[in-house]
């Protein structure tokens, strides 16, 4: 862990950052964002060990990396005793999935997790579940409309997903999104586009309380993604990142590989029509999601396999080598390594 006072921050960080650090238990204003399929437990642990906070993606932990959920959390705990977070994707399209998610959250609480990031849906039920145990919920948003909903549902902070982000990108630039969310007066975390110290600083200067990075942490020694995927991130420029609807039904940022070029990036006409309907939308996303989970799982191990769904955001432009997590965090935040 990086000792307090050497974390590159002013000794008296601004209130939003202080709230973020209090909410998460981190000593640095940096989140290692949840990543399906890339969040292997060793990566999450390595991020938290620096004083940033690593967030568990439960489907990645269980389905991709093969851990029984509680055992996976204990494995992380055996590698670091620093706080970790949990990502709850809560779009309520299936009862079975909701039950599974509730169970995962209960186990997370039992294993000491107190920081939760909810995506999609209304976070109220998660807040009600974790609040009595001192748990804090931050909600993923791409615009003010969702922030209002999330905060009304009891979230204490926002993860502002901008249009540069890896995974499901938003539509606004980091500056536009901050201007829109500032009025809510809660810690707002910038997600998307940060790959180095200059990017990190720029977000803090805009007024963000903290930064959430995904892509930067894939190109690290501790991430178990294939060397080919890591090298592709190091070699790519921002223009090599394209948005594809073909994977989950909503745009996902991926590297343009020959496979992606061949497949095209738009959903087919029938899928598009189904995605527009209120009811069929959930069903269609569910269908895409099942297929996507399988395909994305394959993308971790692949060299030049048939399905190169290499998710990455435009921060690839600032990533020029594969390093250890501690090196990445130290360079990005200015924190001194122990």
Binding site for ligand FMN (CB under 6 A): 33-36, 38, 57, 87, 119, 140, 161, 164-167, 191-194, 212-216, 311-313, 315
Kindly state the smallest distance separating residue 72's Cβ from ligand FMN, in Å.
15
Cα separation of 29 and 9, whole Å?
Answer: 9
Report residue 293 as tokens: 């989970």
Cβ atoms of 207 and 216 closer than 8 Å: no
By Cβ distance, which residue is nearest to ligand FMN? 214
> DSSP secondary structure string, 324-336?
-HHHHHHHHH-PP
Helix and strand element counts for the chain (H, E):
15, 10
Kindly state the smallest distance separating residue 148's Cβ from ligand FMN, in Å.
19
Kindly state the smallest distance separating residue 264's Cβ from ligand FMN, in Å.
20
Cβ atoms of 64 and 37 closer than 8 Å: yes
Which residue number, 7 or 119, has a Cβ lying nearer to ligand FMN?
119
Cβ atoms of 86 and 126 closer than 8 Å: no
Which residue number, 17 or 87, has a Cβ lying nearer to ligand FMN?
87
Phi, psi of 319 (to 5 degrees): -105, 115
Which residue number, 7 or 40, has a Cβ lying nearer to ligand FMN?
40
Tell me the torsion sign for CA atoms 136, 139, 140, 144: negative
Which residue number, 76 or 312, has a Cβ lying nearer to ligand FMN?
312
Kindly state the smallest distance separating residue 31's Cβ from ligand FMN, in Å.
8
Kindly state the smallest distance separating residue 131's Cβ from ligand FMN, in Å.
21
Cβ atoms of 24 and 83 closer than 8 Å: yes
Cα separation of 317 and 219, whole Å?
Answer: 12
Kindly state the smallest distance separating residue 268's Cβ from ligand FMN, in Å.
24
Cβ atoms of 30 and 330 closer than 8 Å: no
Which residue number, 154 or 166, has a Cβ lying nearer to ligand FMN?
166
Kindly state the smallest distance separating residue 115's Cβ from ligand FMN, in Å.
13
Which residue number, 215 or 333, has a Cβ lying nearer to ligand FMN?
215
Which residue number, 7 or 212, has a Cβ lying nearer to ligand FMN?
212
Report residue 34 as tokens: 């949840």
Which residue number, 19 or 140, has a Cβ lying nearer to ligand FMN?
140
Cα separation of 111 and 206, whole Å?
Answer: 35
> DSSP secondary structure string, 305-322?
-S----B--GGGGG----
Kindly state the smallest distance separating residue 314's Cβ from ligand FMN, in Å.
6
Q: Where are the alpha helices (DSSP H) in 277-317?
A: 278-301
* Partners of 119 in beta bridges: 89
């Amino acid at each position: 862990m990086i000792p307090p006072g050497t974390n590159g921050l002013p000794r008296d960080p601004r209130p939003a950052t202080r709230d973020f650090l209090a909410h998460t238990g981190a000593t640095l204003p940096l989140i290692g964002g949840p990543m399906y399929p890339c969040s292997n437990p060793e990566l999450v642990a390595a991020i938290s060990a620096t004083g940033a906070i690593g967030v568990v993606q439960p489907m990645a932990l269980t389905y991709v990396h093969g851990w029984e959920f509680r055992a996976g959390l204990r494995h992380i705990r055996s590698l670091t005793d620093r706080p970790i977070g949990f990502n709850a994707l809560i779009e309520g399209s299936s009862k079975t999935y909701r039950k599974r998610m509730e169970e995962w959250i209960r186990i997370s609480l039992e294993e000491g997790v107190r920081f939760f990031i909810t995506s999609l849906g209304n976070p109220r039920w998660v807040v009600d579940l974790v609040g009595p145990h001192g748990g804090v919920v931050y909600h993923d948003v791409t615009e003010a409309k969702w922030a209002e909903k999330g905060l009304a549902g009891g979230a204490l902070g926002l993860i502002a997903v901008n249009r540069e982000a890896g995974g499901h990108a938003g539509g606004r630039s980091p500056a536009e999104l901050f201007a829109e969310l500032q009025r809510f007066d809660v810690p707002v975390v910038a997600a998307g586009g940060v790959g180095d110290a200059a990017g990190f600083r720029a977000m803090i200067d805009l007024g963000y309380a903290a930064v959430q990075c995904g892509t930067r942490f894939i190109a690290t020694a501790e991430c178990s993604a294939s060397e080919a995927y890591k090298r592709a991130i190091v070699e790519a420029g921002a223009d090599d990142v394209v948005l594809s609807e073909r994977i989950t039904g909503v745009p996902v940022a991926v590297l343009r590989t020959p496979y992606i070029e061949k497949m095209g990036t738009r959903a087919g006409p029938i899928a598009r029509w189904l995605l527009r309907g209120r009811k069929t939308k959930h069903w269609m996303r569910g269908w895409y999601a099942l297929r996507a989970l399988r395909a994305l799982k394959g993308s971790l191990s692949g060299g030049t396999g048939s399905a190169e769904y290499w998710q990455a955001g435009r921060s690839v432009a600032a990533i020029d080598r594969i390093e250890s997590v501690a090196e990445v965090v130290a360079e990005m935040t200015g924190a001194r390594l122990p």
